[in-house]
Homo-oligomer: A and B are copies of this chain.
């Protein structure tokens, strides 16, 4: 048992912050026993780590990113989705056939998400089995939790990234067998890149594998008008984009992440709600690629689960704190045009970044009883130069802070 002391801030619900000044978090192994103003008598003698005036908040959950696009983060920002994929992204991902290149770049990637306070991540790798396993190993070594998907794509891609259908399936199965029980914190995830690059036979097999091994699924959904039209051409009988995934058991039959969701139909939103599919909001990516803004308030009103993703390298920032800021700002741009859709409050956006995204991995992202202790300790002393409230300090750190302010990182009770 262990006791953590400091200024504790978290969001058990969307609508407000729970703030305990000079409070105590009691941990039993990796889990939270409770949060208290005073140490309850029975815990008085346990080890205490005193973070004094620092802020203690849940860790950030990045529910959509492309680890092999690390090299291209912050460059090539002048393209729309489909040309950007063909001209910049696919050539870079092709390099991960070389396991040494993969090892080098994935190490840098993991270092960068660590630096930025991500404690759980859902990452796309590439089609390459060896490099994908390397990414899983590096993630396991880092202490960061999450899931990693070998990407599946057997059509409509460049030659160097187009798999034989059976190779795609067998490599996926091989990774699952090796990694299903290798680590408590890092797991495989079924990852069809997106509908256009996956044949029906591949999608069918991936859905069956997901169900057989009870594995989660991640992919892309309704990011861009051109992409949506392409899906419609390829699957003329589908009711909407998400219906294609759904018809192959890849849309909520196991826990499912769908990135972007900028241009959803009402039926699509309804199906996402019914099947508990997460809409992963990647605001900087949606702007950088000219996709548009996800209608986040509409999705919240319809009880769709929401998480944030950095979506590097469509997105340019590794920081989920920046996703919070952008998501609020973009919701205000929608609100400026249509007052029916109220903008996101800070507590709502913070909830999405912590408990919202964390829920995909279990009891993660809050400091409630029985939650795993994923946390960041924030040293905001240089920002806190006047008489700010704890909530103002948090807001200031989120808007102005960076990796320099992240003093310690915990994942599932362990300092990493």
Q: Residues on A close to B: CB < 8 A? A: 71, 73-78, 108, 284, 287-293, 316-317, 325, 328-330, 332-333, 335-337, 343, 345-346, 383, 385-386, 388, 392, 395-400, 402
Determine the distance from Cα of A388 to Cα of B88 in the docked complex, in whole angstroms. Answer: 13
A386 touches B333 (CB 8 A): no
Determine the distance from Cα of A329 to Cα of B329 in the docked complex, in whole angstroms. Answer: 12
Determine the distance from Cα of A290 to Cα of B343 in the docked complex, in whole angstroms. Answer: 9
Contacts of A292 in B (CB 8 A): 333, 336-337
Copies in the complex: 2
Given contacts A287-B332, A316-B325, contact A392 B75 (CB under 8 A): yes
CB contact between A78 and one of B75, B325, B337, B346 (< 8 Å): that residue: B346
4 nearest CB pairs, A to B: A74-B399, A287-B329, A74-B396, A290-B332
Please name 16 further chain A to chain B contacts, defined as beta carbons within 8 Å, in addition to the given A73-B396, A78-B345, sorted by A numbering: A71-B386, A74-B395, A74-B396, A74-B398, A74-B399, A75-B388, A77-B328, A77-B346, A287-B333, A288-B329, A288-B332, A290-B333, A290-B336, A293-B333, A317-B400, A330-B333
A330 touches B287 (CB 8 A): yes
Of the A-B pairs whose beta carbons lie under 8 Å apart in the complex, a sample of 29, sorted by A's number, is A73-B396, A73-B400, A74-B383, A74-B395, A74-B396, A74-B400, A75-B392, A75-B395, A75-B396, A76-B395, A77-B395, A78-B345, A108-B385, A284-B329, A287-B329, A287-B330, A287-B333, A288-B329, A289-B332, A290-B332, A290-B333, A290-B335, A292-B333, A292-B336, A293-B333, A293-B336, A316-B399, A316-B400, A333-B333
Q: A389 — nearest CB in chain B belongs to which residue?
A: B75
Q: Whole-angstrom distance from the CB of A338 to the nearest CB of chain B?
A: 11
Give the residue among A317, A336, A385, A388 with the most B Cβ atoms within 10 A. Answer: A336
Determine the distance from Cα of A178 to Cα of B377 in the docked complex, in whole angstroms. Answer: 49
Determine the distance from Cα of A397 to Cα of B73 in the docked complex, in whole angstroms. Answer: 10
Determine the distance from Cα of A335 to Cα of B290 in the docked complex, in whole angstroms. Answer: 7
Give the residue among A77, A337, A383, A395 with the most B Cβ atoms within 10 A. Answer: A77
Determine the distance from Cα of A288 to Cα of B330 in the docked complex, in whole angstroms. Answer: 9
Determine the distance from Cα of A402 to Cα of B316 in the docked complex, in whole angstroms. Answer: 13
Q: Whole-angstrom distance from the CB of A287 to the nearest CB of chain B?
A: 4
Q: A398 — nearest CB in chain B belongs to which residue?
A: B74
Q: Whole-angstrom distance from the CB of A25 to the nearest CB of chain B?
A: 25
Contacts of A336 in B (CB 8 A): 290-293
Contacts of A287 in B (CB 8 A): 329-330, 332-333
Determine the distance from Cα of A284 to Cα of B346 in the docked complex, in whole angstroms. Answer: 16
Contacts of A388 in B (CB 8 A): 75
Contacts of A288 in B (CB 8 A): 329, 332
Determine the distance from Cα of A224 to Cα of B375 in the docked complex, in whole angstroms. Answer: 39
Q: Whole-angstrom distance from the CB of A68 to the nearest CB of chain B?
A: 13
Q: Whole-angstrom distance from the CB of A116 to the nearest CB of chain B?
A: 11
Contacts of A400 in B (CB 8 A): 73-74, 316-317
Determine the distance from Cα of A386 to Cα of B101 in the docked complex, in whole angstroms. Answer: 11
Determine the distance from Cα of A176 to Cα of B303 in the docked complex, in whole angstroms. Answer: 59
Determine the distance from Cα of A116 to Cα of B395 in the docked complex, in whole angstroms. Answer: 20
Determine the distance from Cα of A290 to Cα of B297 in the docked complex, in whole angstroms. Answer: 15
Contacts of A77 in B (CB 8 A): 328, 346, 395, 399
Q: A336 — nearest CB in chain B belongs to which residue?
A: B292
Q: A385 — nearest CB in chain B belongs to which residue?
A: B108
Q: Whole-angstrom distance from the CB of A9 to the nearest CB of chain B?
A: 14
Contacts of A392 in B (CB 8 A): 75-76
Contacts of A346 in B (CB 8 A): 77-78
